[in-house]
Structure 1
């Protein structure tokens, strides 16, 4: 649905996008996440047709940037990271103005505006001046404007930024409804936790390059597979440690009271075999499971905001290379 191939974009001497490639599947809710200055807004502006790439190729719904630019822009509803409202206008006037910009006939525009006001929760606010709107209402109005021409794709730059918890929840619900209607949604955020609940796919961008991209479920599985195994045993743990040290997939062992934490590089089948060996050796194993993946921690690691993962609460760790 959306494809960027080795896209470069600079502003003077500042490189915003450095050979960025990304893929947004049709009907996905794709979260583009990265710290400030990572290149998120540059991607959004390129897709909205507000700027052009220096190098590389961009396709939207099979249309190439350039010769098919007008048809391309018709398929996209763009919501920038600033409201861009006209303060003296009333809410209904604002939407009528942009309906005219899209060449939507007046009767059809009024019908469409009514539907959108219901959808974003602004029914009854038609005659309110825009300079009196709260931040949450401004974001809902901006979303309604982006939907006026019923685009297949929504490109939303920081839609949840600076919203209180109630408005964040409401806007996420609206986006979920739009996704269920078949819209493809690309939204950006500096905070992974604020959008991960509604995303089907994620891309983590850092310094204009894609650090990680994929289905959210697949990314979480990969994180789980790289996390430690926690083992809780009854009785002495000495015998348990002897068995663990014999397994070449066990790279380190941490101890906290009767719980052991091991960094394990084997497959799921090898994990099951390790548990079987412990039990058959007479070890009373109370629990044996992988620590759940931490998506936010992965984001911090990939964007360079966390240089080292520290696992706290463990009193000892043995280096197996020392025996």
Structure 2
């Protein structure tokens, strides 16, 4: 299957500052790509170029085989862009706001009304049709902004920090909407510096730092980058009550006394334990983990969960960018 979007050697300079440096990747229809990086990494600049709102210093971008650089007017109808900061108009209802932009996209008559109604139904905005946009919650305003982006039925969606500031429920609902859009065959790029959000929705990701793309590919492949064959990570949880701090401290001390334990760190409600195993050693990871569990139980610690710790995008990001951050 040929890629819907092809980015080749993209570069953007602002005087002496190189904001985007030789970025290259592809994206197929029906895929969601997480554009990962800290603030100032070049994510928004890249998205602005893909949205034809900025011109690259060099490089090429093809959407559906058409050049964004040479024929921007031809590809703009295929793009839906939602910036990280969006605005609404005073004294305008949700329906009026979407209808205004539908007219701006060139939709007329019954087709325009049908499209606005369809978008409002998809985003769950129907019950809010007559409500002023300025009276909406942040989550609902985000839905209005997404609805505006969908009115002309674009093939490529560019969403810059779409979940920033949303409450947990609104984030879950937004993820469901984006997954549904991908299932319709749309390609979606989501930029974010909050990696846990992207891990739950994206099937591909790209890690960018200081303008350079450090890794790109399927999420599973990215998660395996830097995974050690000589180190096993475990997650341990305890049933704790009022003496929680005493249990955590005692467990940490006991674990660090064990010969194969390299590191112990607290993560939310669990301990992250790193077991170092020598290559070719007779002790297998399951045996080493079982021995460690036996030590904890024998010591009378209230272990309620014990098992392998899965790598996440934060681990992958730290591995890929290790030694590269200035």
Counterpart-to-counterpart distance in 1, 2:15 and 2:259: 51
The separation in 1 between residues aligned to 2:128 and 2:86, in whole angstroms, is 17
Pick from 203, 209, 213 the counterpart of residue 210 of structure 1.
213
Pick the aligned partner of 1:184 from 187, 195, 201. 187
Query: How does 1:149-298 map onto structure 2 within 5 Å?
Result: 149-225=152-228, 228-229=231-232, 255-256=260-261, 261-263=275-277, 287=290, 292-298=310-316
Task: Find the counterpart in structure 2 of residue 8 from structure 1.
Answer: 11
Partner of 2:38: 35
8 Å contact from structure 2 (residues 33, 203) kept in 1:
yes
Match of 1:116 among 114, 119, 138: 119
Tell me by how many angstroms 1:291 deviates: 5.3
Q: Deviations over 1:199-242 (max 9, x none)?
A: 000001101100111101112233545571369xxxxxxxxxxx
Instruction: Specify the SS of the correspondent of 1:151.
Output: coil
Structure 2 residue 320 is the aligned partner of structure 1 residue 299: no
Q: Secondary structure at the match of 2:128?
A: coil
Cα distance change of structure 1 residues 170 and 290 upon mapping to structure 2, 3 Å threshold: closer
Partner of 1:311: none
Provide Cα deviations, 1:77-124, integer angstroms capped at 9, x if missing partner. 111111122223211111111111111122111111111112111111
CA distance in 1 between partners of 2:274 and 2:201 (Å): 35
Counterpart contact for 1:300–1:306, Cα < 8 Å: no
Is the CA contact 2:230–2:276 (under 8 Å) kept in the aligned structure 1?
A: no
Give the superposed CA RMSD. 2.9
Cα distance, 1:260–1:76 mapped onto 2, change above 3 Å:
closer
In structure 2, list runs of 5 or more residues that go unmatched: 235-257, 263-272, 292-306
Query: CA, structure 1 residues 2+264, in 2 after alignment: closer, same or farther (shift >3 Å)?
Result: farther
Aligned length: 273
Determine if contact 1:224/1:292 at 8 Å carries over to the other structure: no
What is the TM-score when the length of structure 2 is the normalising length? 0.75
Which residue does the alignment assign to 1:19? 22
SS at match of 1:15: strand
Structure 1 segments unaligned to the other structure (5+ residues): 232-252, 266-273, 308-323
Say if 1:203 and 1:162 are closer, same or farther in 2 by CA, change over 3 A: same
Q: What is the distance in 1 between the residues matched to 2:323 and 2:178?
A: 29
The answer to whether the Cα contact below 8 Å between 1:224 and 1:290 also exists between their aligned partners in 2 is no
CA offset at residue 195 of structure 1? 1.5
Q: Distance in 1 between matches of 2:186 and 2:107?
A: 20
Residues 254/100 of structure 1: CA separation in 2 closer, same or farther (3 Å cut)? farther
Bigger-Rg structure (1/2): 1
Is the partner of 1:124 in helix, strand or coil?
A: helix
Q: Distance in 2 between matches of 1:168 and 1:284?
A: 40
Deviates most, 43-52 or 296-305: 296-305
Structure 2 CA distance for partners of 1:220 and 1:105, relative to 1, 3 Å:
same
* 2:85 is the alignment partner of 1:82: yes
